[in-house]
């Protein structure tokens, strides 16, 4: 980040040791860092300094991280990485559902957190670099405008998080092609590594918004042993099953909602 204005990161954590360690690593990586120990202070500081990224602890006194994230997003788009000591899927879904771009479970490697922060910021910048003449994407009754960052299904607005929008745009740009979870993580999230269940959770949320029957998806299809495929014509259920062994099916059980 040399020769550039450093990206500003707001670290929100009530544990002073965690906040100090994280802030130190971010500072050495070239970020400008602000700190807050609770939700109200974080919202006040975010309004004053307009951070490029927020690292937000889920368990905060008074106002939890989910409510802080909701209020941050209501004020305007800002990338958010949730920091949580709870690693079960329900907590991840809650964070991702309200628009968090990533989550990291404590205890975590500060170096890994810096890499995640850099990846999230790269994605945020790439969204800002969309050419003003980029055409709308259309398929299966979906119209997605990458410039206005708006999407509709059969004329009705789709309430998509930033990451859901990026995932849908990628699938629409690659109709009929099987996209692996690793590829989606790299191309949509900008991660070289990470928990592949993040992709699964986002696909589940996206299906709930674009499929007529999310339990029997016709457009965002599971390709067993690979990942997902967008079928603009709407396929029939199980048309990609039968190509994987029992071990693969077991590993994919959580991804076929």
Say which residues have a Cβ less than 8 Å from residue 98's Cβ, sequence separation at least 6.
66, 69, 70, 73, 161
Per-residue pLDDT, 251: 37
Q: What is the mean pLDDT of residues 114-125?
A: 83
Provide the pLDDT confidence category of residue 7 given band limits of 50, 70 and 90: very high
| Strand arrangement, sheet containing 137-139 | 137-139, 142-145, 150-153, 156-157
- Mean pLDDT of all residues in 143-166: 89
- Cα separation of 75 and 179, whole Å? 34
The closest alpha carbon to 43, from 33, 27, 54, belongs to 54
Min mean pLDDT across 58-72, 149-163, 238-252 is at 238-252
Q: What is the total residue count of the chain? A: 257
Instruction: Look at residues 66, 54, 67, 110 and name the one whose alpha carbon lies nearest to residue 90.
Output: 66
Query: 13-50 pLDDT, tens per residue?
Result: 999 999 999 999 999 999 999 999 999 999 999 999 99
Which H/E stretch holds residue 121? helix 110-128
Q: What is the pLDDT of residue 40?
A: 94
Query: Which of these ranges, 3-12, 21-30, 135-144, has the smallest mean pLDDT?
Result: 3-12
Q: Is the pLDDT of residue 245 over 50?
A: no
Question: Which contiguous run of DSSP H or E holds residue 230?
Answer: strand 227-230
Is the pLDDT confidence value at 179 over 70?
yes
Instruction: Give per-residue pLDDT as tens, 88-104.
Output: 666 666 776 666 788 88
Residue in 42, 90, 88, 87 with CA at minimum distance from that of residue 69: 42
- 238-241's contacts with Cβ under 8 Å and 24+ in sequence apart are none
177 to 9, 97, 136, 180: CA distances (angstroms): 37, 26, 19, 10
Q: Residue 162 is encoded by which pair of tokens?
A: 């930033």
% of the chain surpassing 70 pLDDT: 80
Q: Can you give the pLDDT at residue 112?
A: 85
Q: At what angle do helices 89-97 and 197-210 cross, to 10 degrees?
A: 50
Dihedrals φ, ψ of 10, to 5°?
Answer: -100, 120
**Residue 156 neighbours by CB under 8 Å, 6+ apart:** none
CA–CA distance, 247 with 19 (Å, rounded to integer): 41
**Is residue 69's pLDDT more than 60?**
yes
pTM metric for this prediction: 0.66
pLDDT value at residue 246: 31
C-alpha dihedral (192, 198, 200, 201), degrees to nearest 10: -160
């Amino acid at each position: 980040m040399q020769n550039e204005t450093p990206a500003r990161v707001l670290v929100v954590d009530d544990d002073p040791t965690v906040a100090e360690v994280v802030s130190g690593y971010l500072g050495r990586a070239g970020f400008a860092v602000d700190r807050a120990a609770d939700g109200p202070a974080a919202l006040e500081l975010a309004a004053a300094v307009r951070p490029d990224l927020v690292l937000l602890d889920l368990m905060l006194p008074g106002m939890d991280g989910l409510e802080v994230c909701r209020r941050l997003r209501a004020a305007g788009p800002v990338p958010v990485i949730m920091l949580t000591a709870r690693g079960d899927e329900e907590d991840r879904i809650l964070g991702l559902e309200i628009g968090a771009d990533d989550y990291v479970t404590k205890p975590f490697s500060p170096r890994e957190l810096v890499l995640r922060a850099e990846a999230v910021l790269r994605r945020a910048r790439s969204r800002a670099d969309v050419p003003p003449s980029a055409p709308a994407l259309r398929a299966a009754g979906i119209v997605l405008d990458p410039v206005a960052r708006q999407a509709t299904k059969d004329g009705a607005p789709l309430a998509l998080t930033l990451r859901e929008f990026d995932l849908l745009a990628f699938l629409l740009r690659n109709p009929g092609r099987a996209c692996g979870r690793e590829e989606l993580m790299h191309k949509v999230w900008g991660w070289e590594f990470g928990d592949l269940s993040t992709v699964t959770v986002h696909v589940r949320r996206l299906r709930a918004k674009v499929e007529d029957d999310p339990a029997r998806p016709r457009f965002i299809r599971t390709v067993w042993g690979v990942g997902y495929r967008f079928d603009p014509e709407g396929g029939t259920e199980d048309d990609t099953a039968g190509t994987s062994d029992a071990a693969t099916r077991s590993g994919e059980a959580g991804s076929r909602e």
